[in-house]
Amino acid sequence: MATATINRPRDPNTLSNYNNWRTLHTSTTLEILFDQQKLQGIVSHDLQAITDGESDEIILDSSHVLVRSILAEGKPAKWETAKRLEPYGSALKIKLDRKPKLNERIDIQIELETTESCTALQWLTPAQTSNRKHPYMFSQCQAIHARSIFPCQDTPDVKATFDFSIKSPLPVIASGLGAKENPTSPSADGSSQLYKFHQRVPIPAYLFAIASGDIATASIGPRSTVATGPDELKDCTWELEESTEKFLQAGESLVYPYAWGEYNVLVLPPSFPYGGMENPVYTFATPTIISGDRENVDVIAHELSHSWSGNLVSNASWEHFWLNEGWTTYLERRIQSIVHGGDQWRDFSAIIGWQALADSIKNFGEEHEFTKLVIDLKGKDPDDAFSSIPYEKGFNFLYYIEKLIGKEEFDKFIPHYFETWRGKSLDSYDFKTTLLDFFKSDEKVSAELAKIDWDTWFYKPGFPPKPNFDTTLVDVAYRLADKWEEFTKEPNPDFGPNKLDIDGWTANQVVVFLERVMAFKTALPVPHAHQLGSVYNLKDTRNVEVSARYYQIAMASGDQSIKDFVVKLLGQVGRMKFVRPLYRGLMKLDYETAVETFEKNKDFYHPICRGMVAKDLLGSK
Ligand code: BES
Ligand code: ZN
């Protein structure tokens, strides 16, 4: 008789028994019911036994899903949902009438509906969309929200191929390649039309994605399309058409050919809670990247980089999230260097990143568990750990290794790493072994690698060592900030702020300047904050990276007149990167207004953002 498996799964954030079963393929047949704001249909999983005659129960993650019925191998199955365990949901337990042998396949069909409490979907009424004509819906499954659309093995340690068969009266987009026959416009009479997609590359459940609404498309490159609202199409095309194919080719030159066929971008309504989400075939992106200056397309370089790091090679659990985001930030910045021609460009981005790292460490506190590279998430919600730390500490770790062994050597390792783990998931220890093994016959490189203090990098909280970044592109911004600092201490006859100070600057240079000002020992006096905003025209710019930072400076100086601008922006943008710090600033300036603003906008925000801001507001009361 087989003995019970005692090795525990390496992902603590799933309730599924994926050490007994592996999903090989998932089919989702769903109808989008806009009037009831729910998805309804059948999801089937083809599961394989990976233990021998050991388990007669398939346990799936499930959260706030209404299960109607379940068939196992075509016959009605016994099943139950366990008591809810926060934040992981209620495990769905499906009983089989036998214990299948190793490698046996079991087909499970689940008839289901999503509910009002679903955390993965946002539903917009026509009034909440830009042209106010049609409703809209979109999903966001990372990290552990796929389970609130359908029961599944919701862990990045399991990958399956997917079929999507989606009915909707409005155009549908999904994280697979679309069928040629898919309709391209809303149905004339509001009736449902069928859309089909296939994902032939195995993906974890968190990369399942769908969106539907009044969506139009245009070409932005030989293998790329942008999709967005009809009125936004022109601006989105302009913003993205120059760089998308260049980014793809740069990524391919660093790693290997792009694996997903098409690389497309869906620009969502403004309540999309992230900058971007790397859904395969279709990156989902915030409309704040459409800033009219092509200055925020680094988000696209980032999401595209996930096509290798994250989507082909995945972190085995969210405790090793740096393998997704640190590697992606590293590739994103290498792509920037290639496209702009020079390493000062990646260091420019790394300098902005270092500030984001410092802010995150400050928010958590230097000793906090979540400031480590490898974190403990047992019993925790990965959303609560989300910050710039895995991105920037992860980037800095790879940058450190690259500098240690030299770029030429590191560049040989990149394709090797992505080939070795292609289609698989790994943890930080696998990464270490892969790196050391690759160079083991090279004494010189091995001697360098022996200097890495792995435990410190993995487990020490707080800052990593700061590299000497190339400051070529930020020196002008630092100099201007120095002048402002002196000028606020005592009026300087040689310096009067003038709009020519920033003439010819890129928006990101202005960002660096503003971050320097934010870091002044004493906040700017109100009149100076005013002057800063008006001379450089920072209040009304379309580039939210700039305006949001300026608002922080004005709020910190105690400038009450900035409140109206902040409140306005908080009603227009739902990207958490901006929303959360702006609420933090507003809470300090005027707690009542912060609460009022949240009450007014909470239905505009995505459920994840809404929950986060609510927590932030309560936490500081
Ligand atoms: N995968 C992330 C977004 C994410 C992370 C969603 C964790 C849910 C849970 C995406 O690739 C990302 O990093 N987006 C960044 C963009 C960036 C760093 C350029 C963002 O949203 O700001
Ligand atoms: Zn990312």
pLDDT digits (tens, 9 = 90+) for 483-517: 999 988 887 777 789 999 999 999 999 999 999 99
Give the separation between CA 385 and CA 380, rounded to whole angstroms.
Answer: 8
Number of alpha carbons in the 13 Å side-chain half-sphere of residue 204: 30
312 three-state secondary structure? coil
Q: List the beta strands (DSSP E) in 313-396.
A: 314-315
- Burial per residue of 127-143, b for 16 or more beta-carbon CB atoms within 10 angstroms, e otherwise: ebbeeeebbbbbbbbbb
Q: Which of 54, 303, 332, 515 is catalytic?
A: 303
Res. 366 pLDDT band, cuts 50 70 90: very high
Measuring CA to CA, which residue among 386, 349, 423 is closest to residue 576?
386
398 pLDDT more than 80? yes
Contact 91, 82 (CB under 8 A): yes
Give the separation between CA 51 and CA 396, rounded to whole angstroms.
Answer: 40
Query: Can you tell me the mean pLDDT for 597-608?
Result: 94
Q: What is the pLDDT of residues 171-204, one digit of tens each?
A: 999 999 999 999 999 999 999 999 999 999 999 9
Measured by CA distance, the residue closest to atom 20 of ligand 1 is: 275
Measured by CA distance, the residue closest to atom 2 of ligand 1 is: 277
459 pLDDT more than 50? yes
Give the separation between CA 333 and CA 321, rounded to whole angstroms.
Answer: 18
525 pLDDT more than 80? yes
Annotated binding residues, written as ranges, equal 140-142, 273-278, 302, 306, 325, 575-577
Among 22-26, 473-477, 495-499, 554-558, whose mean pLDDT is lowest? 495-499
Reply yes or no: is the peptide bond before residue 87 cis, omega within 30 of 0.
Answer: yes
Contact 16, 91 (CB under 8 A): yes
Query: Can you tell me the mean pLDDT for 219-228?
Result: 98
Q: What is the pLDDT of residues 87-137, one digit of tens each?
A: 999 999 999 999 999 999 999 999 999 999 999 999 999 988 888 899 999
Side-by-side strand order, sheet with 136-139 = 121-124, 136-139, 210-212, 172-174
Give the separation between CA 187 and CA 369, rounded to whole angstroms.
Answer: 51
Tell me if the domain spanning 313-459 has CATH number 3.40.50.1370: no
Residue found under tokens 């395969």 = 280
Task: Kindly give the distance from the C-alpha atom of residue 278 to the centroid of ligand 1, in angstroms, as a whole number.
Answer: 8
What is this structure's pTM? 0.96
Number of alpha carbons in the 13 Å side-chain half-sphere of residue 471: 11
Query: Can you tell me the mean pLDDT for 322-343?
Result: 98
In ligand 1, the atom with minimum distance to the C-alpha of 575 is 21
Percent of the chain with pLDDT over 90: 95
Number of alpha carbons in the 13 Å side-chain half-sphere of residue 219: 3
- The full set of domain ranges for the chain reads 1-214, 313-459, 472-618
Looking at the domain that runs over 472-618, which CATH code has it been given? 1.25.40.320
pLDDT at 392: 98
Tell me which architecture the domain covering 1-214 has in CATH: Sandwich (2.60)
Residue 506's identity, in one-letter code, is T
Give the separation between CA 89 and CA 152, rounded to whole angstroms.
Answer: 12
268 pLDDT more than 60? yes
Annotated binding residues for a peptide, written as ranges, equal 140-142, 273-278, 575-577
165 pLDDT more than 50? yes
Query: Can you tell me the mean pLDDT for 68-73?
Result: 98
Q: Do domains 1-214 and 472-618 have the same CATH topology?
A: no
pLDDT at 4: 47
Q: Which of 18, 88, 195, 391 is catalytic?
A: 391
First to last CA, the chain: 58
- Ligand 1 contacts (CB < 6 A) are 142-143, 274-278, 298-299, 302-303, 306, 325, 386, 391, 577
Cα→Cα distances 383→119, 209, 305, Å: 12, 18, 22
In ligand 1, the atom with minimum distance to the C-alpha of 306 is 11
pLDDT at 544: 96
Give DSSP secondary structure letters for 206-226.
GG--EEESS-EEEEEETTEEE
Rounded to 5 degrees, φ, ψ at 357 are -60, -45
Query: Which residue out of 274, 297, 346 has the highest number of ligand 1 atoms within 8 Å of its CB and is therefore the one to mutate?
Result: 274
Percent of the chain with pLDDT over 70: 99
Task: Kindly give the distance from the C-alpha atom of residue 276 to the centroid of ligand 1, in angstroms, as a whole number.
Answer: 5
Instruction: Reply yes or no on whether 391 is catalytic.
Output: yes
Task: Kindly give the distance from the C-alpha atom of residue 78 to the centroid of ligand 1, in angstroms, as a whole number.
Answer: 39
In the predicted model, what is the mean pLDDT of the chain?
Answer: 96
Query: Which residue out of 207, 247, 277, 304 has the highest number of ligand 1 atoms within 8 Å of its CB and is therefore the one to mutate?
Result: 277
In ligand 1, the atom with minimum distance to the C-alpha of 277 is 10
Contact 382, 320 (CB under 8 A): no
In ligand 1, the atom with minimum distance to the C-alpha of 310 is 1
Res. 2 pLDDT band, cuts 50 70 90: very low
> Which stretches within 389-537 are classed as H helix?
389-405, 407-420, 428-438, 443-449, 454-459, 475-489, 507-518, 526-535
Measuring CA to CA, which residue among 466, 444, 342, 341 is closest to residue 396?
466
Which residues are in the CB-under-5-Å shell of ion ligand 2?
Answer: 325, 328
Question: Token pair for residue 253?
Answer: 């030159």
Instruction: Reply yes or no on whether 136 is catalytic.
Output: no
Contact 542, 535 (CB under 8 A): no
Question: Token pair for residue 81?
Answer: 């949902």
Q: Which long-range contacts (CB under 8 A, 24 or more apart) does 613-617 make?
A: 613/579, 613/580, 613/583, 616/580, 616/583, 616/584, 616/587, 617/583, 617/587
pLDDT at 1: 43
pLDDT at 621: 62
pLDDT at 7: 60
